[in-house]
Structure 1
Amino acid sequence: MEMRELTVVAGSFVGFKLLQAGVSPVLSSALTEGYGRLPPARLNEWNSRTVSTVHALIVGLFCLYILRYDDAVNADPVWGDPNLVKLNVAITCGYLLYDLVLLASNWRAMGDSFFVCHHLAALYAYGYVLSRGVLPYFANFRLISELSTPFVNQRWFYEILQHPRSDRLVVANGVAMTVVFFLVRIAVMPTYWQSVFATFGTPAFERLGLAAQVAWIVSCICLDVLNIIWMYKIARGCYRVIINARKARAKASNGDGSKQNYMNNHTD
């Protein structure tokens, strides 16, 4: 790994830590009064999710730019020029290390074995990208998934602030979260794996060596299994939110109708 990538990883780690400890409390307090009423454990998670949203927007948009404009990576997905991709991956690795440290230091309140597995699998695969510059297209393609993170975090913000689940904003975010999560994590699987299988047996694939091949394939399988599990949970939650919102509106509508009937019966 070159000094540039190491510097970006370290800078990303420190930058996200400063955002979590210094910027998020000030910004969140200014945006909502509910932030100041949260217990310490919830404040910590709130700040971490703010950082998660910022990271997702930076990396996700950078990812789309690379997919659209980096011709070298698109032309040679296994050995194309990895410079821009390595920068994006280095930012993500710094964030993943920051988040692992945060989870470990607040395990009782924030610990999640799925997230730990996700982070370790990603770091394992991205290590090859940073150290050898291989698989730039595939590494960058995986980062599309980060575009679903802001919606996931927003759902948590609404919940912790005790917004009614029937609220239109909550329902709209839940539907958007489900749709975007499906599009960037599940719907892209056939295209991604088709590209993977297309490299099998090629000279470019053979040049990777067994260790890189295993790291690539195994980590992708682990990440996609986790994505499927999360998709199932999100879809179930979205379904319940929609059903409960319909019931709440129906109940309110019936209540208004009963009240109107009562007034009509007593004013005739």
Structure 2
Amino acid sequence: MMEDSVLISYCVVAWSFIAFQLVFSVISPIVSSRCSTAYRQLSKGKQCEWDSRCVSTVHAFIVGSLCLYILAYDDAINRDPIWGDPFQVKMNVAITCGYLVYDLILFARYWKEMKDPYMVCHHFAVLYAYVYVLNRGVLPYFANFRLISELSTPFVNQRWFFEAIGTPRTSRPAIINGLAMAVVFFLVRIAVIPTYYSQVFATFGTEGYIRLGIGPQVAWIVSCIILDILNVYWMYKIACGFYRVVAKAKPGGKPRRNHAD
């Protein structure tokens, strides 16, 4: 039964990869060129990033919605966060893994246009931990909890879309999106840190934790630390950027530039 579950998981990874590649290569270029004159005027490199952010937004809506559903209604993983029935979580994680593989290949193909070493580090850290979820079905609650962070992605992407079509950063739509991005990013990536780690520490020394073995334990803790360091860094950048925009929008506002620009 476990082997069948693993096979299904990797089939979902493969189909996820193909689906997101299809959105990037076919669906987004067709829809975007028909719906936005600004898209047609972008350089090839910018069109590539536009399409990749469309894929990112689609992934965030799918995975974020499934994540909230599982947290609310999956009693098995809420009762046993380490060894609870992982099937629904594995499907959600498999979708994310397919997306991450697609995105890493995209970075490799278009590194000059899209280079982002922090995001590559993020992707590898996530894959490192999620392979254990797919192969052994362990830590379903914690694996799913990390996916809450995807709920901030559409706002981050929307900021880039505004810049790509020339919307001023001080315009009302851009400021509203910037505020929403900062608030949601903080809520789903920073504010949840104490709750997450309190639940992590509560498992230490339990029979379920000991059964994990050293490999999953290291993958779990190390990947979490890496991801949260990146999240704190990105939160700092977002907060600084939003402050500068708001200060600039005020009459006579001339904020100083700093290293976070």
Scaled to the shorter chain, the TM-score interval is: over 0.9
Aligned to 1:228: 232
Cα separation, 1, equivalents of 2:198 and 2:44: 46
For 1:166 and 1:6, how far apart are their aligned partners in 2? 45
Q: 1:119 aligns with which of 120, 123, 127?
A: 123
Q: Does 1:85 align with 2:89?
A: yes
| Residue number in structure 2 paired with 1:192 | 196
Cα displacement (A) at 1:139:
0.2
Runs of 4+ in 1 over 2 A off after TM superposition: none
- Counterpart amino acid of residue 152 in structure 2: S
Question: CA offset at residue 228 of structure 1?
Answer: 0.3
Larger Rg: 1
Q: Find the residue that maps to 2:251 and give its secondary structure.
A: helix
- When normalised by structure 1's length, the TM-score is 0.91
Distance 1:169 1:112 in 2: 26
- Aligned counterpart for 1:161 among listed residues 152, 158, 165: 165
Unaligned runs of 5+ in 2: 254-261
Which position in structure 1 is the counterpart of 2:258? none
- d(CA) in 2 for partners of 1:238 and 1:166? 10
Matched-pair contact (CA < 8 Å) for 1:165–1:244: no
Do 1:144 and 1:184's aligned partners in 2 also have CA atoms closer than 8 Å? yes
Which residues of 2 match residues 141-180 of structure 1 at below 5 A?
141-180=145-184
Aligned residues, how many? 250
Q: Partners in 2 of 1:72 and 1:107 — Cα distance?
A: 42
> What is the Cα deviation at residue 37 of structure 1?
0.2
Query: Per residue, is there more helix in 1 or in 2?
Result: 1
Question: Once the two structures are aligned, what percentage of the paired residues are identical?
Answer: 62
1:133 counterpart (137, 156, 162) = 137
Q: Is the 8 A contact 1:171 1:245 kept in 2?
A: no
Alpha-carbon RMSD: 1.2
| 1:105 has 2:109 as partner | yes
Residue of structure 1 equivalent to 2:256: none
Q: CA deviation at 1:244?
A: 1.4
Give the aligned partner of residue 64 of structure 1: 68
Whole-angstrom CA distance in 1 between matches of 2:104 and 2:170: 34
Instruction: Please report how far the alpha carbon of residue 187 of structure 1 lies from its aligned counterpart in structure 2 after TM superposition.
Output: 0.2
Q: How many angstroms apart in 2 are the aligned matches of 1:99 and 1:6?
A: 17
For 2:246 and 2:8, how far apart are their aligned partners in 1?
A: 48
> What CA deviation, in whole Å up to 9, does each residue of 1:98-138 have, x standing for no partner?
00000011001101110010000000000000000000000
